Structure 1
């Protein structure tokens, strides 16, 4: 069982280890990698703030804000795991313990494996998309150099950095060093983003798997699988009671797991949501002010906007998935053969159904609930802020 568990979570372990946030990493190694990550991130923030002081108008400042918010957002994600390290370890301990509990239950273990495989697939898709987007974004800064080599002019085209920053040196002379520095920061930033976000995906997929296992137990509460056929059997009353109590405890454990996820990410998500909304609005404003001859800049902003929307959609998708799975438990109980049980045991089922009426959610400070419906609301808010900023900039 351990080798399966390692297979499903090996990608997350590597990304979290890079930024010093893997719960089972040695303390000295964690501290070293965390300090290394924060050093580069704060270095980027300093150079971007320095560039803001050189700006003479709001348009110049708006050019810096999107990537500045990206780095700041990454710092928030890294510190979230650091400040909530004890709760993160509890979550991971519970996650690994559930695999050991279900080791002897083949069908339930298969359900958990299916959700773990989905989580691993989401991690691969998410990390691949971010790296492809980042490479595409960074490569646009090489466009002037490429054009100088293919279609040289009397004078060199203006240099373009990966993002707007001031390094206190001659940018033309030290362009290669500056490009390498910003590229390293971008890669570290991506590792931190992927480590934080994909581990959240893994936690959500796991708790959804727990709800699916619980639903399976209630659905098959009075059925026994036979090699040749399925046939309904009547258990003794005490065995009914034992199965129901066991399932109730498992349901409470899943609810506690979902609550732990909420406690870890709630405040962090509130900050990230505000940053994402402002970033999308500012990026749209910059695109509206670009001319057709600024093709490279326009491509950069479109890539960035799409990445922000994809980032927010992934969180909304996971939040909606948790809502759906937590509510499905009551439906599975109702569709089971509960009428075959003794009245005493039917009353126990009401306890679970009562808990299942209220959906488990992931919120931003209990104000914003991550779901598909609220995802569209954020897009509308971003468009509203964009229109307001556009009116001020006229």
Structure 2
């Protein structure tokens, strides 16, 4: 399906198509891509679980868990799109259809700005995660590089991209294992990025809708300056049409937000739990390896920075949605509402009443994604880290 706004969503389309999640993809292509991604995840689960089974102490388990938890998080994201396939299609249909409700060039420019912002978020987010993933993987080559530059009497212990057991001699087949892990990491990370970036695009789109509503309410008295003040019937008709069109867009934005919430709410609750535990365990590994193995500590440091960046991006998008939904009431209040016919002024109260309640993205209606709650999650992760560190002493 081709749309004239495809430019703003082309990166999302490519990511989702590769992992078999694009709503307009052919069924066979979707099934093949999704099956390939799931095979990569199963490959990772088998080798990581095998490593956990042969672990002889707590330290080995804690070393394996962070990346193992990451793979479960990716699986949750992939299944979220798979099990909500029809809702995702409806949401994407609305994403394109909403462009047809704008009446002026100014409104289209507002939506273009927000669509461009969404595209920019996708580029920055995906680039950062891939750069971090490559850096994380490259650090595992450090012992081999040191062996070549500063050789010892014996080879340094090998370091895999993540702890795993491949049922073969890891020293002999190291480079094969390294390539397998790196390829799997890039493919699985694509499933994570496809999910997250489409969510960012949805949020920026609904923020654009709220911005258009605010623009309409903020300029509702503009026609009053170019019309005769004594033509009250004409003015009343003008205000009625403007008000109805503004309410229509506002309702579209609220419906769009509710559909986002229905798709991601349960998934976000699972993901939030997973990431909070992962941050705590990774902090433990950083503190443990800091004085033992600088290379390992660096790897875990990169991993925890990526996890915090992930949480911050979602909190930032949730905060944007809250701010834009609440901005409607301010736009109405700052408008020259006193110049509008009295019966239209009363209608504004209905919109302002709805504007008191912020539109949010939540995790099962328990946790609201916002910058304020971002610090709450960090505090919870630090608390779990303290508990784990006390048991690890």
- TM-score, scaled relative to structure 1: 0.96
Query: Which residue in 2 is equivalent to 1:23?
Result: 23
Query: Which residue of structure 2 aligns with residue 316 of structure 1?
Result: 315
Report what 1:292 is aligned to: 291
Distance 1:213 1:291, change over 3 A: closer
CA distance in 2, matches of 1:287, 1:113: 43
Q: Is residue 66 of structure 1 aligned with residue 34 of structure 2?
A: no
Q: Per-residue deviation at 1:378?
A: 0.4
Task: Say if 1:223 and 1:233, in contact at 8 Å, map to a contact too.
Answer: no
Q: 1:232 to 1:369 in 2, by over 3 A?
A: farther
**Counterpart in 2 of 1:126?**
125
Query: Is the Cα contact below 8 Å between 2:319 and 2:371 reproduced in 1?
Result: yes
Task: Give the distance between the partners of 1:361 and 1:8, measured in 2 at CA.
Answer: 24
Residue 236 of structure 1, CA deviation = 2.4
Question: How has the CA–CA distance of structure 1 residues 113 and 291 changed in structure 2, closer, same or farther, with 3 Å as cutoff?
Answer: closer
CA deviations on 1:158-212 (whole Å, 9 max, x unpaired) are 1110000011111111111111111111001221111011110000000000000
Q: How far apart, CA to CA, are the structure 2 residues paired with 1:325 and 1:114?
A: 14
Alignment-derived partner of residue 7 in structure 2: 7
- Could you say what secondary structure the match of 2:21 adopts? coil
For residue 261 of structure 1, what is the aligned residue in structure 2? 260
Displacement, 1:100? 2.4
1:389 aligns with 2:388: yes
Structure 1 pair 240/279, CA: closer, same or farther in 2 (3 Å)? same
Task: Work out the CA distance in 2 between the residues paired with 1:132 and 1:291.
Answer: 23
Partner residue, 1:97: 97
Between the two proteins, the alignment pairs up a number of residues equal to 388
**2:354 is the alignment partner of 1:358:** no
Structure 1: how far apart are the matches of 2:92 and 2:348? 29
Distance between the aligned counterparts of 1:107 and 1:93, measured in 2? 23
Give the match for residue 43 of structure 1. Answer: 43
Residue 241 of structure 1, CA deviation = 1.1
Q: CA deviation at 1:7?
A: 1.0
The residue number in structure 1 matching 2:346 is 347
Question: Is the CA contact 1:322–1:361 (under 8 Å) kept in the aligned structure 2?
Answer: yes
CA distance in 2, matches of 1:319, 1:233: 44
Aligned equivalents of 1:337, 1:29: Cα separation in 2:
55
Shift of 1:239: 2.2
Q: Is the Cα contact below 8 Å between 2:3 and 2:96 reproduced in 1? A: no
Moved segments of 4+, more than 4 Å: 230-235
Answer whether contact 1:222 1:232 (CA < 8 A) is retained.
no
Pairing of 1:128-147 with structure 2 (within 5 A) = 128-147=127-146
CA contact (8 A) 2:318 2:370 kept: yes
Cα distance between partner residues in 2 of 1:291 and 1:362: 37
Are the structure 2 counterparts of residues 149 and 206 from structure 1 closer, same or farther at C-alpha, using a change threshold of 3 Å?
Answer: same
Alpha-carbon contact 1:224-1:233 (below 8 Å) kept:
no
1:223 and 1:232 in contact (8 A); partners too: no
Distance 2:358 2:119 in 1: 25
Q: Quote the residue 1:380 is aligned against.
A: 379
Alignment partners' CA distance in 1, 2:328 and 2:387: 44
Deviations along 1:244-274, one digit per CA (max 9) or x if unpaired, are: 1121121111001011111111111111111
Q: Normalising by structure 2, report the TM-score.
A: 0.96
CA apart distance, 1:232? 7.0
Q: Secondary structure at the match of 2:121?
A: helix
Q: Secondary structure at the match of 2:5?
A: helix
Q: CA deviation at 1:43?
A: 1.1
2:252 paired with 1:219: no
Aligned CA RMSD, in angstroms, stands at: 1.4
Deviation, structure 1 residue 14: 0.3
Q: Displacement, 1:233?
A: 6.0
Distance apart, 1:392 and its partner CA: 1.0
Residue 169 of structure 1 aligns to a residue whose secondary structure is coil
CA distance in structure 2 between the partners assigned to 1:242 and 1:303 by the alignment: 55
Secondary structure of 1:236 counterpart: helix
In structure 1, how many angstroms separate the alpha carbons of the residues matched to 2:130 and 2:273? 24
1:191 has 2:190 as partner: yes
1:81 aligned partner: 81
Change (3 A) 1:11 1:68: same
Tell me the distance in 2 between the aligned counterparts of 1:380 and 1:233. 60
